[in-house]
Structure 1
Amino acid sequence: MADTVEQAAKTPEQSQPWRELGLKEDEYSRIREILGRRPTGSELAMYSVMWSEHCSYKSSKVHLRRFGELPAETRTGKLLAGIGENAGVIDIGQGYAVTFKIESHNHPSYVEPYQGAATGVGGIVRDILAMGARPIGVMDALRFGPLDAADTHRVLPGVVAGVGGYGNCLGLPNIGGEVVFDKSYLGNPLVNALCIGVLKHEDLQLGRATGTGNKVILYGAATGGDGIGGASVLASETFDADGPAKRPSVQVGDPFQEKLLIECTLELFAAGVINGISDLGAAGLSCATAELASSGDGGMHVILDRVPLRDHTLSPEEILMSESQERMMAVVEPQHLDQFFEICRKWDVLATEVGEVTDTGRLIIDWHGETIVDVEPRTVAAEGPVYERPYARPTWQDGVQVDGVDDLERAASADELQETLIKIISSPNLADKSWITDQYDRYVRGNSVLAQPEDSGMLRIDEDTNLGVALATDCNGRFSYLDPYAGAQLALAEAYRNVAVTGASPLAVSDCLNFGSPEDPAVMWQFERAIAGLVDGCRTLGTPVTGGNVSFYNQTGEQAILPTPVVGVLGVIDDVTRRTPAGFRAAGDVIMLLGDTRDELAGSVWADVVHDHLGGLPPQLDLDHEQRLAEVLISGARQQLLSSAHDLSEGGLAQALVECSLRHHRGAELSLPDDQDPFVALFSESTGRVLVSLPPEQRDAFTAVCAQHGVSVRELGLVGGDALSIAGQFSVDLTELADRWRQTIPAALDH
């Protein structure tokens, strides 16, 4: 028998498994105080998942509020929906808006790599759909342990297959992302999934349950036992060294069901029969009912035994906690019910009326004629615990920052420089990622203008005007470890630059902030500093944060991951036919380097790969320079001055030259600047630099654009030949470079 509200009032001392559900003692006491009695089992289930770290942001709210200080104005228009909605929505002009968001599915992907990653994609796609948008593309930012580690060989293939399998079946192009290897992610991989959708301004949908008497419809897949407490509980606890202490079942995805759900929902929107909508992701029905009610008129009555089940043995608590995939909840006016159900039948999507909007101000859920939930919805969805976790700069931070790279041996001779180049480009983090990205469909739907391995992905939005958007995600966890404030800004600047490199104007940000345990003051200090860096950086660059995700407890035992604030930047381009691609294309083109190179090698790939060293201070960042550099690149694209452009980041100039040469098998003959140490010129990771190639006849015009914006430019040489030749240093045949660059990951993973 279900535990009813009436029974709960009569049995105040009944023992309840609040600790097993992830609640703290004071949180359980607070629930009893709110209700004026002990919670029923179903109420306890709802509060436990909705008050989890993953769903309530209870340790991060006090810091995330700072994003609200940022202006909502952008270069093209206003932020139409921001933090607090399923996803941010931003005006891009011509009556179009785009919605984009990045979220984590880290812990489920460690427990069950394929389904964890697949349902991460499915969940973020439904977030975009719930805003009234058609999903048009996905990206993924992945972190794993060392490439040669046994657990990486277990996790990585499953994650990649899950990301590719789900996205490919949905018919969504995967246009970009990252793959990073580091020992700190061993036992705690990061799977951050991004989706972008497009809509007209008038099509915007919000998650509100309004209008007394309007019906609440659950549609999509039936509810099963998979994912009970999955993302909500699993992502809110530290993994022990031997694995997660709790292993709730990971959600199981069905991309073909989701494809039907997408098309059905878009037709429902077009028919105008939906008043409010929410996807069912983490916390399942608990989240959808509580959030819809608390954001609307405040009242909802749900008859839980109407919920279609795949497993009829489920208890009401399990039904409320289930995170079964491919489900949505809509609020529909009674006169539109017939049309709603007709459209669902057309798409073979199961739809069931499970309740209605009321004026009681309460969320009441019945089970077989008895009330098992009677709560004020805001106390579940919006008024959970808020922790001001103690944070303090760790005592070891000073030691890390003074442990610089000055004493590390550097390559000096030409042979040593060439050897270092080969070692770096064949290291896991800089080696070719085609083994991974070839498993993703990058061009389905026919509007992918740029995709991996370009600096950012680009999608055509309007086929008549060629309006488009560009997206990039970036983060260097080593830099964030050295200085979390600077590291977050460097991630922002790199994503901003990668968007500008293509010719798009950076507009807005979504972030996925991956950190260790919030109960560790050192981790919370890293988090607070990263937030401060992003807020200050976004204010300077004029890029509002539209939404995102916080993922805590990313650590195994006492070992936290590198602080990893992944930043996604969205940009708009008026005409995608004027984009600038990466990679040398035409023999005889002039090669130029924009920006200044300094002796900045702390936290670099060279320090990591050659010396296994992490210490010192990250590269200096000049955000004003980044803005001026972006203007140069945007202007160069509009005026069609450039053949190619590629930003310099990990691996510095050396890596950029190799990638540009191998992109279309075009060699280069260059001279390094006379006033620089060749080692620094090749391997420094100074920020704010871009390698471009252009026809000789455009040299003067482009140099004038650089001068106009105060951006330094050096001519390095010419495109041509079958080798990468550095005058006075070395010449390496492109075939050899390609072999060394491309073999690392297949050699490790192809068994």
Structure 2
Amino acid sequence: MTLDTVHRAAQTPDEPMPYAELGMKDDEYARVKEILGRRPTSSELAIYSVMWSEHCSYKSSKVHLRQFATKAPASDALLVGMGENAGVVDIGDGWAATFKIESHNHPSYVEPHQGAATGVGGIVRDIMSMGARPVAVMDSLRFGAADAPDTRRVLPGVVEGISSYGNCLGLPNIGGEVVFDPCYIGNPLVNALCVGLLRKDRIKLATAPGPGNKVVLFGALTGPDGIGGASVLASATFEDESQAKRPSVQVGDPFMEKLLIECCMELFAADVVVGIQDLGAAGISCATTELAAKGTGGMDVRLDLVPLRDPTLRPEEILMSESQERMMAVVTPQDIPAFMAICEKWDIPATVIGEVTDTGRLVMTWHGATIVDIPPGTAADEGPVYERPYHEPAGQAALNADDPGRLPRPSDLRATLLQVLGSPNVASKEWVTSQYDRYVRGNTVLAQPADAGVLRVSEDLPGATETVRGIALAVDGNGRYAKLDPYAGAQLALAEAYRNVAVTGARPLAVTNCLNFGSPEDPEVMWQFAEAVRGLADACKTLGVPVTGGNVSFYNQTGSAAIHPTPVVGVLGVLDDIRTRVRSGFPEEGARVVLLGETREEFGGSEWAHVAHGHLGGLPPRVDLEAERALASVLAEAASRGLLSGSHDLSDGGLAVALAEACLAAGVGCTVRLPDGDPFVALFSETTARALVAVPPASFDAFAELCARYEVPCTSLGHTGGTDLVVDGHFTVPIEELRTVHTGTLPALFD
């Protein structure tokens, strides 16, 4: 095959190029030709096609995502915001935390194990590239109906991929969610989150400053696996025949990544890295263009120096490969010997493949011939921006008018509790989480099934000083709520994650998000997306928690059938003293059981309506952000003063499920009396801004005064103790019966 050089491209302007096959529109290709003043070479076309893909360029979402910046609340804690590999926040005592969530949805359907595994690997490298040591992961998973044959194919592979990769890295998996709904059949959602810790004066950025500095590619060799992987799979409508795209799925090597982590930590400690970028979606195309664009504007690269697993790869294939466990660093010439020595110590291949320039051009050669000569910013930052048309779905008004209040209500509240408690979405996820190591590294304070994961800031990290500080993390979303009202649904996802962090006693500090939607070319889907972003931006402003970064995942649909709009929100909080954290549920006998917050009759999108009637309609619970903020303030102050012995948020299944889960947490029962009114509403309504707490009797008066000060309704329901859940006047359920129902569902489906 004739090498397509820049000179040849200039001499053959009319040669057909396969831009459409690479997902590029006619007008986008015309713009590339306008930028270059000629047709692109095949290597340049490879760069622009992946960098301008939906997954990499955010071309359909940029106009809406800007709200996260324009509406951003003032935050002294925010050190690095959107635009870098991950956000960084100040958590005190000279420490910073960096965290981010991203999707690997389509690859995980095509090849569940490798798709999920490399999703973990990719998000871990994002955290490493900020100069941080990754310390924990979480995941938000959604599948089709739990009893669907394809769910039985996909779920075990996804869980195995997450567990094998994370366990091999020695990273605890401290939380997440597993949700089942028919809308995700054929299009599961696999959203992976990672958090890392670093000293706040040691942040690294994806930039290539300093002409004459060297560009080093290090880590695994480049192979044919994952060519166009995430950038292609996540940027087009997903059809049933997508299994034919299996070669596009990346293949992970967690043992190489573990070595890469340790190598990077030593490189950072030795201060021999000027800038760094991981190689994820778009591979070398992304790393070179983004580093050059954010630096002094230019870079010369010898692409033939890239170490290959397959020597037959063509230049454009090398540029598009998304082979895993690779990083790119910018290093001063004097630091190259030390950099290489550290890589050799960890048995990490490292090769100088180029040099930083100030020419404003990214120039790549192949055995002496120039195959790329472009302004890097045009690929990295100046891709197309679309203002897609959008309008409310045609059936939205009818959906919202179909209120679940018309549904028959049960007379047997006990049976209803057991029905909801054993449903796949509410049932114990121990079958999944037992495959993850939750306590490796020894810094996990709380993990699943707690409301949020909690970690102590370890003293064994580089530059560590003695501290009792900790961080809390939660990730939540509810596609049914967002289907009913995407604006409120996004706010409710944030509110739940915010509340889950707060019930541990932590102060919510910052937000990351993964926005999972159907095709942006569908105006009804685009309306859902626009409303969700607007809702999330408004809620973050009200709650005072900035969005530090995240991910947009479009084209989550098979044919014309889109998933429910599913904004997934991660919240990070800080504990000044890890010893004050509040345990989950009812950890001891003799405590007062107290319900915080107001209960209203709200069943739209509820777990009861879904389980008992297969119903989705009406409006989701009302959003009350001021009530969420007041509740979080009460919980944080109560924790710091030692007024609580346990806590649990109220969400899916309402008070009934919260009571059952609180009893199951430590095997301690309770006896409660419901407030006056309809007992069904009291037990199963999903009104938000509520929590269940256990208060030692000696602390109750002080706690009640605290609630009054923040104007948070505080209702004493009863006390903990015994081996039963007793709802006085209605039913009694032994804890062992609750446990049998709660833990039996997933093993029966997937063992």
Determine helix, strand or coil for the equivalent of 2:406. coil
Contact 1:229/1:248, CA 8 A, preserved across alignment:
no
Q: Deviations over 1:80-118 (max 9, x none)?
A: 111110000111111111100000000000001011001
Q: Deviations over 1:567-616 (max 9, x none)?
A: 00010110111000112121211101000111101110000000000000
1:6 corresponding residue in structure 2: 7
Question: For 2:671 and 2:405, how far apart are their aligned partners in 1?
Answer: 30
Determine helix, strand or coil for the equivalent of 1:239. coil
Post-superposition shift, 1:247? Answer: 4.6
Q: Deviations over 1:498-534 (max 9, x none)?
A: 1110000001000000000000001110001001101
Question: For 1:112 and 1:614, how far apart are their aligned partners in 2?
Answer: 31
Q: Deviations over 1:622-679 (max 9, x none)?
A: 11111111111001100111110100000000110111111111111111112x2010
2:48 corresponding residue in structure 1: 47
Post-superposition shift, 1:246? Answer: 4.6
Q: Deviations over 1:48-91 (max 9, x none)?
A: 111100000000000011111244643xx331111110000111
Question: For 1:617 and 1:183, how far apart are their aligned partners in 2?
Answer: 20
Post-superposition shift, 1:566? Answer: 0.3
2:658 corresponding residue in structure 1: 656
Question: For 2:648 and 2:520, how far apart are their aligned partners in 1?
Answer: 37
What does residue range 21-170 of structure 1 map to in structure 2 within 5 Å? 21-71=22-72, 73-74=74-75, 77-170=76-169
Post-superposition shift, 1:465? Answer: 2.3
Structure 1: which amino acid aligns with 2:184? Y
Question: For 2:118 and 2:275, how far apart are their aligned partners in 1?
Answer: 24
1:482 corresponding residue in structure 2: 484
The runs of 5 or more residues in structure 2 that have no matched partner are 460-465
What does residue range 430-579 of structure 1 map to in structure 2 within 5 Å? 430-463=426-459, 464-579=466-581
What does residue range 573-592 of structure 1 map to in structure 2 within 5 Å? 573-592=575-594
What does residue range 190-209 of structure 1 map to in structure 2 within 5 Å? 190-209=189-208
Structure 1: which amino acid aligns with 2:392? R
Question: For 1:603 and 1:687, how far apart are their aligned partners in 2?
Answer: 13
Question: For 1:110 and 1:195, how far apart are their aligned partners in 2?
Answer: 21
Determine helix, strand or coil for the equivalent of 2:658. helix
Contact 1:501/1:633, CA 8 A, preserved across alignment:
yes
Task: Kindly indicate whether residue 617 of structure 2 is the aligned counterpart of residue 615 of structure 1.
Answer: yes
User: Which one of the candidate residues 424, 429, 435 is aligned to 1:428?
Assistant: 424
Q: Deviations over 1:115-145 (max 9, x none)?
A: 1001000000000000011111110000000
Contact 1:2/1:316, CA 8 A, preserved across alignment:
no
Q: Deviations over 1:122-173 (max 9, x none)?
A: 0000000000111111100000001101110111001011111111111111
2:219 corresponding residue in structure 1: 220
Question: For 1:741 and 1:78, how far apart are their aligned partners in 2?
Answer: 40
Determine helix, strand or coil for the equivalent of 2:323. coil
1:602 corresponding residue in structure 2: 604
1:706 corresponding residue in structure 2: 707
TM-score (norm 1): 0.98
Q: Deviations over 1:171-196 (max 9, x none)?
A: 11111101000000000000000000
Determine helix, strand or coil for the equivalent of 2:248. coil
Q: Deviations over 1:351-389 (max 9, x none)?
A: 000000112110000001100101000111110010000
Change (3 A) 1:348 1:462: closer
Structure 1: which amino acid aligns with 2:493? A
Question: For 1:283 and 1:128, how far apart are their aligned partners in 2?
Answer: 18
Question: For 1:684 and 1:404, how far apart are their aligned partners in 2?
Answer: 14
Determine helix, strand or coil for the equivalent of 2:593. strand
Post-superposition shift, 1:249? Answer: 2.2
TM-score (norm 2): 0.98
Determine helix, strand or coil for the equivalent of 2:317. helix
What does residue range 235-246 of structure 1 map to in structure 2 within 5 Å? 235-243=234-242, 246=245
Structure 2: which amino acid aligns with 1:300? M
Contact 1:234/1:248, CA 8 A, preserved across alignment:
no
Question: For 1:267 and 1:29, how far apart are their aligned partners in 2?
Answer: 46
What does residue range 373-412 of structure 1 map to in structure 2 within 5 Å? 373-412=372-411
- State, as a whole percentage, how many aligned pairs show the same letter: 65
Structure 1: which amino acid aligns with 2:686? E
Task: Kindly indicate whether residue 686 of structure 2 is the aligned counterpart of residue 690 of structure 1.
Answer: no
Structure 2: which amino acid aligns with 1:140? D
Output the aligned Cα RMSD. 1.0
2:463 corresponding residue in structure 1: none
User: Stretches of 4+ moved more than 4 A in 1?
Assistant: 244-248
Determine helix, strand or coil for the equivalent of 2:568. strand
Contact 1:104/1:549, CA 8 A, preserved across alignment:
yes
Question: For 1:48 and 1:389, how far apart are their aligned partners in 2?
Answer: 20
Paired residues, number: 744
Contact 2:225/2:322, CA 8 A, preserved across alignment:
yes
Determine helix, strand or coil for the equivalent of 2:415. helix
2:722 corresponding residue in structure 1: 721
Determine helix, strand or coil for the equivalent of 1:207. coil
Contact 1:604/1:651, CA 8 A, preserved across alignment:
yes
Q: Deviations over 1:183-212 (max 9, x none)?
A: 000000000000001111211011111111
Question: For 1:242 and 1:692, how far apart are their aligned partners in 2?
Answer: 50
Determine helix, strand or coil for the equivalent of 2:351. strand
1:256 corresponding residue in structure 2: 255
2:327 corresponding residue in structure 1: 328
1:283 corresponding residue in structure 2: 282
Structure 2: which amino acid aligns with 1:286? S
Structure 2: which amino acid aligns with 1:564? T
Change (3 A) 1:70 1:97: farther
Post-superposition shift, 1:248? Answer: 4.4
Determine helix, strand or coil for the equivalent of 2:689. coil
Determine helix, strand or coil for the equivalent of 2:405. coil
Determine helix, strand or coil for the equivalent of 2:290. helix
Contact 1:72/1:79, CA 8 A, preserved across alignment:
no
